[in-house]
Amino acid sequence: MNDGFIAPEIDWAVVAPVLVVLGAGVLGVLVEAFVPARARRVTQILLTLAALAGSLVAVVLLWPRVLRDGFAFIVDGTYLLTPFTLGVQAVVAVLAIPGVLVIADRTSSGEDAFAPTAAAVPGTAYEDAARQAGLQQTEIYPLVLFATGGMLLFPATDNLIVLFIALEVLSLPLYVLCATARRRRLLSQEAAFKYFLLGSFASALMLFGIALVYGFAGTVSLETVVLVLQHPELSPLGTMPGLVLTGVLLVLVGLLFKVGAAPFHTWTPDVYQGAPTPVTGFMAACTKAAAVGALVRVLFTLAAGFDDALRGDIVVALWVVAILTMLVGTVAGAVQTDVKRLLAYSSIAHAGFLVVGLVGFSELGARAVVFYLLAYGLATIGAFAVVTLVREQDASGVVLGEATRLAQWAGLGRKAPWLTAAFALFLLSMAGIPLTAGFLAKFGVFQAAVDAGAWPLAVLGVLASAVAVFFYVRVIVLMVLTPPADERAAPEAAGAAAPGAAGAAVRPVEGGGGTAAGVVTAARTAVARATVVVVGSRGPAALAIALCALGVLLVGLLPASVLDLAGEAAKFRP
């Protein structure tokens, strides 16, 4: 009768947390076009922070409603309002704010972390010209907003196609952001390319998985898939559980890739190392929160329809992923010599702990995971923010890039006691030492695992934590108890003349391998001779570090209210 387009009834208030951020992203693009260059940066930063705060406010306003009215399906489940959705959105928004603050910081050396023109080939005259012209990249702020929008949508849908779109919306801006590092341009572009390539593979696999699930159930709505699982006669292929198993596993691959769980973790260290450090912090914390949120949404929803065989197969897959991830993260983390890579492997290990919390498909697990994401995110953003401030300095006093080699961090405690204390706090939280947020987070996931009968997993997790403590403590020992390299070098200088000469001979050979040989060699030689200096923040990053440290301590000491909120958020199904 009526073939015309029927506009769906949409409760716009429910979509507000996502809309605010995406709308601000569009606005940000307009700002790029119309706001004069000198005011652009400030405008963008304020717009971005306002959008994130607005999103957070929207979540807070929706919270009583969802507790009262229960779940809301918008446009047939394309958008889903549940306590769990709001909980993950709140975590993403809360973490994105300090993340953006770090991105916005220009250190006392007067420059931010981003290349003046990301498209320029590293080391070319064009790039030099752009730098001298004082160009700055303010497009990063809308990109961050689009990514955040995708993250907010990711755990908030019942529809697998929308899930895929959210994945792409959050990934594409991140690929670009990874390529924009001001220093070590080649590494940054390599990281972006690697991330893009592997990310595309993961997306493709996920899409294939969605197709298989659709083939099985004749629908892309998770709730309907559950219905078909319970009543196979509803769908022509409903009697082929192998189809849905393969499909779900492939969807999991896509999600686990974003989470950074082994064996889909290989991009993590390279990308975390190559990307501009503020972006790494943002990506590590917020992407993981969103992706784990989506993982929980898909898994826990479908779990209601699984029979024992299906459930068993999925649980085995999760066990394997959890064990592998914890193993890779902690063992490989223990031998890293670069701070950013070390934090990357630590992030992999955390992905493993998160998966440990999921194996029971229980509310206890969902609560633990939401809490974990917050605790982990605060410590991660804070830690990467500290990394942005520890720099190299050449003989003439010019501040260079970040001093990421671990050895350079020796004796940092004397140069910057407060910064060191904050970094130590973040590391202790990641290690799960009591009275920090990280301890309760770990306690929660292990509790969920033991409750689900997966106590071997919890024991393995505990052992992995013990190994992880080793490499976190190693960094603390280095910063606090080891004298700085320059101080140690002085008395040893006389005796070490010969090895020093040998090192000088090796270095140019190393550098010669680079593409822009001259520049790279010069840079590397400079790096090798540089001393380490802690640059001051112009405010935002310092504020972010303070906020994160405060968060880690407060959530660690008085976790009751946060845990209660996480407990309310753990209701993930109607």
Partner 1 sequence: MSSGFPWLTVLIAWPLVAAAATALTGVGRGRPSAGVVRAGRFGAGAARWVALVGALVEVGLLVGAFLAFDTTAAATYQLTETYRWIPALGASYAVGVDGVALLLVALSVGLVPLVILAAWHEQGGDRSRLRRYLATVLVLEAFMVAVFAARDVFLFYVLFEAMLIPAYFLIGGFGQGSQRRYAAVKFLLFSLAGGLVMLAAVVALYLQVPVEQRGPQTFLTENLIANLAASLDPTAERLMFAAFFLAFAIKAPMVPVHTWLPDVAENATPGTSTLLICVLDKVGTFGMLTLCLPLFPEASRWAAPFVIVLAVISILYGAILAIGQNDLLRLIGYTSVSHFGFIILGIFTFTALGISGSSFMMLNHGISTGALFLVAGFAIARHPRHSQRIADYGGLRIVAPVLGGTFLVAGLSALALPGLATFVSEVMVFLGAYGRWPAAVLVAVPAVVLAAMYVLLTYQRMFTGTPSADVANVTDLNGRERTVAGVLIAALVVLGLVPGPALDYVREPGQVSVELVGATEPAAATTQETTQGTTEGSEQ
Under the rule (CB under 8 A), what is the footprint of partner 1?
367, 414-417, 428, 433-435, 439-440, 442-444, 446-447, 450-451, 455, 458-459, 462-463, 465-466, 469-470, 473-474, 477, 480-482, 558-560, 563-564, 567
Q: Provide, rounded to whole angstroms, the least separation between the CB of residue 469 and partner 1.
A: 5
Q: How far apart are CA 469 and CA 424, in angstroms?
A: 12
Label residue 168 exposed, middle or buried (CB < 10 Å: 0-12, 13-18, 19+): middle
Nearer to partner 1, 290 or 441 (CB): 441
Nearer to partner 1, 31 or 416 (CB): 416
Closest residue by Cα to residue 291 from 318, 253, 234 = 253
Nearer to partner 1, 460 or 541 (CB): 460
Q: Provide, rounded to whole angstroms, the least separation between the CB of residue 415 and partner 1.
A: 6
Q: How far apart are CA 14 and CA 81, in angstroms?
A: 7
Write the DSSP string, 261-291.
Answer: -TTS-THHHHHHHHS-HHHHHHIIIIIHHHH
Q: Provide, rounded to whole angstroms, the least separation between the CB of residue 489 and partner 1.
A: 16
Q: Provide, rounded to whole angstroms, the least separation between the CB of residue 435 and partner 1.
A: 5
Q: How many C-beta atoms surround the C-beta of residue 18 within 10 A?
A: 23
Q: How far apart are CA 399 and CA 537, in angstroms?
A: 13
Residue 176 C-beta-side C-alpha neighbours within 13 Å: 19
Residue 72 parent element (H or E): strand 72-74
Q: Provide, rounded to whole angstroms, the least separation between the CB of residue 527 and partner 1.
A: 23
Q: Rounded to the nearest 10 degrees, how much is the dihedral formed by the CA atoms of 225, 227, 231, 234?
A: -70
Provide the β-strand partners of residue 81.
72
User: Residue 289: what residue type?
Assistant: A
Nearer to partner 1, 65 or 415 (CB): 415
Q: How far apart are CA 353 and CA 449, in angstroms?
A: 10
Please answer whether residues 333 and 347 qualify as being in contact, where contact means their C-beta atoms are separated by less than 8 angstroms.
Answer: no
Nearer to partner 1, 462 or 506 (CB): 462
Provide the β-strand partners of residue 533.
391
Q: Provide, rounded to whole angstroms, the least separation between the CB of residue 439 and partner 1.
A: 7
Nearer to partner 1, 335 or 462 (CB): 462
Nearer to partner 1, 103 or 460 (CB): 460
Nearer to partner 1, 196 or 471 (CB): 471
Nearer to partner 1, 281 or 438 (CB): 438
Nearer to partner 1, 240 or 480 (CB): 480
Q: Which structure tokens are listed for 408?
A: 């350079």
Q: Provide, rounded to whole angstroms, the least separation between the CB of residue 466 and partner 1.
A: 5
450 vs 55, 325, 460, CA distance in Å? 36, 19, 11
Closest residue by Cα to residue 488 from 533, 534, 531 = 531
Q: What secondary structure letter does DSSP report for 338?
A: B
Phi then psi dihedrals of residue 80, to 5 deg: -130, 125
Q: How far apart are CA 138 and CA 147, in angstroms?
A: 15
Q: How far apart are CA 59 and CA 463, in angstroms?
A: 37
Q: Provide, rounded to whole angstroms, the least separation between the CB of residue 465 and partner 1.
A: 6
End-to-end CA distance of the chain: 34
Contacts of 434 (CB under 8 A, 6+ apart): 556
Q: Provide, rounded to whole angstroms, the least separation between the CB of residue 365 and partner 1.
A: 13
Nearer to partner 1, 17 or 333 (CB): 333
Nearer to partner 1, 214 or 472 (CB): 472
Q: How far apart are CA 44 and CA 27, in angstroms?
A: 9
Q: Provide, rounded to whole angstroms, the least separation between the CB of residue 369 and partner 1.
A: 14
Nearer to partner 1, 199 or 556 (CB): 556
Q: Provide, rounded to whole angstroms, the least separation between the CB of residue 530 and partner 1.
A: 18
Closest residue by Cα to residue 527 from 400, 410, 415 = 400
Q: How far apart are CA 275 and CA 312, in angstroms?
A: 38
Q: Provide, rounded to whole angstroms, the least separation between the CB of residue 54 and partner 1.
A: 29
Please answer whether residues 449 and 458 qualify as being in contact, where contact means their C-beta atoms are separated by less than 8 angstroms.
Answer: yes
Helices (H), ranges, 304-338: 308-333
Q: Provide, rounded to whole angstroms, the least separation between the CB of residue 487 and partner 1.
A: 11
Q: How far apart are CA 408 and CA 534, in angstroms?
A: 11
